[in-house]
Copies of this chain bind each other. A is one copy, B any other.
């Protein structure tokens, strides 16, 4: 009964899957802690953590902004008087 096959489900296979996931998630947690350490050190050296996070986020986002359906967007923004080059005059 320890190793069973219930509802067509292989218990052994299930165990393997769950073990693997738990191992990978454990690594992921470690990585997360490592990242946190880097931020902590940065803070200790006088950097502003929040700003670094912002920079990292921006660098991630840039690529998708650049290729994305830019033309259509420009048309719509123009129609709304939100063209980027005019934005600061928008009051």
A contacts, CB < 8 Å to B: 2, 4, 6-9, 11, 13-15, 17-18, 20-22, 24-25, 27-28, 31-32, 34-35, 38-39, 41-42, 45-48, 50-52, 54-56, 58-59, 63, 66-70, 72-73, 75-82, 84, 87, 90-91
Total copies of this chain within the assembly: 4
Taking A9-B46, A46-B8, A58-B82 as contacts, is the C-beta distance between A24 and B14 under 8 angstroms? no
Contact A20-B38, Cβ < 8 Å, known A72-B48, A76-B51:
yes
Q: List 9 A-B contacts (CB under 8 A).
A: A4-B78, A14-B76, A21-B35, A28-B28, A31-B31, A51-B72, A55-B77, A58-B77, A70-B84
